[in-house]
Amino acid sequence: MRVICIIPARYSSSRFEGKPLADICGKPMIQRVYERVLKSGIVSDVVVATDDERIFHAVRRFGGKAVMTSAAHQSGTDRIAEAVSTLSADDRDIIVNIQGDQPLFEPSQIDEVVKPLLDDPSVDFSTLIYRIGREEEISDPNAVKVVFDRDHFALYFSRSPIPYCRDAGGSPVYYKHHGIYAYRKSFLMTFTKLEEGYLERLEALEQLRAMEHGHRIKVVETLQDSVEVDTPQDLERVRKVYEKGQS
């Protein structure tokens, strides 16, 4: 059983065009993400999956692996599935989805998200969550919130604040979705063949597709937060971290 990391990266974005190639202290963001993956001790292979030749060639220039995928994919998971189909991956292999806009994630988080699949053969899909500490993230639709059951299986993901606190004086705890996934290859191929879900379409959250079709998602709380680069302002926050040598 191998752990293979795929980094989906597309050039076009309504919020931040060309984001994967944005400069972070002398290196494109996709390279920063790739290099952090390489610091993980359990990853056997790393590949960038992209639909843009500019990203493909940028990855090749710094010595990374990249594959071209269709521009028609609506989600990163669909892009990853196409990339995996070109690799010699076994159905039991674990595929890790690292978002190309998280250049500050901790390599140890790969171990965290993979652990449930290594420990329990019945778990096919897992992801990371983080307890929200910055109040502005509770209402920020870019910070996806999640609620889960006592066994740490997700009940729902939403861009809205959940849970809702009805009574004054309550003090709910909010968790955000960290955006790192792990799937068994066999489940990944099943997942991408599922029909788009109603809730998935409303929230624009692909993980809801799995839940709407009755599949469970194990959530793992991580103690490490990470800045997701959704805007040029987020990019400036990341640059400052690298400039201070704190990455």
Sign of CA dihedral 28, 106, 171, 237: negative
Give me the amino acid identity at 10. Answer: R
Query: Three-state DSSP class for 247?
Result: coil
Rg, the chain, Cα only:
17
Give percent of the chain above pLDDT 70: 98
| 58-68 per-position pLDDT tens digit | 999 999 999 99
pLDDT score at 247? 66
Q: pTM of the full predicted structure?
A: 0.91
Report if residue 247 sits inside a domain.
no
Question: Per the domain annotation, does 238 fall within a domain?
Answer: no
Confidence of residue 155 (pLDDT cuts 50, 70, 90): very high
**245 occurs within a structural domain:** no
Mean pLDDT of 123-140: 95
How many angstroms from the chain centroid is the CA of residue 204? 14
Asked if residue 160 is part of any domain, the answer here is yes
Q: How far apart are CA 11 and CA 16, in angstroms?
A: 9
With respect to residue 243, please indicate whether it lies within any of the assigned structural domains: no
Q: Is the pLDDT score of 74 beyond 80?
A: no
Q: Is residue 233 part of a domain?
A: no
Residue 139 lies in a domain: yes
Residue 76 confidence (pLDDT): 79
Q: What is the mean pLDDT of the chain?
A: 92
Cβ–Cβ < 8 Å for 200, 212: yes
Q: Comparing 242 with 73, which gets the higher pLDDT?
A: 242
Q: Does residue 1 register a pLDDT over 90?
A: no
Tokens of 184: 């068994």
Distance CA 60, CA 65 (A): 6
How many domains in the chain? 1
List C-alpha distances in Å: 161 to 142, 147, 245.
11, 10, 34
Q: Is 54 within a domain?
A: yes
Q: What is the pLDDT of residue 21?
A: 94
With residue 138 as reference, give the H or E element that holds it. Answer: helix 136-139
Domain hosting 152: range is: 3-226
Write the single-letter amino acid at 233. Q
Write the CATH number for 82: 3.90.550.10
Express each pLDDT in 78-119 by its tens digit.
889 999 988 888 888 999 999 888 899 999 999 999 999 999
The proportion of the chain whose per-residue pLDDT surpasses 90, expressed as a percent, equals 73
- The pLDDT score that the predictor gives to residue 72 is 79
Residue 186 has pLDDT above 70, yes or no: yes
Q: ∠ CA(69), CA(73), CA(77), 5° rounding?
A: 85
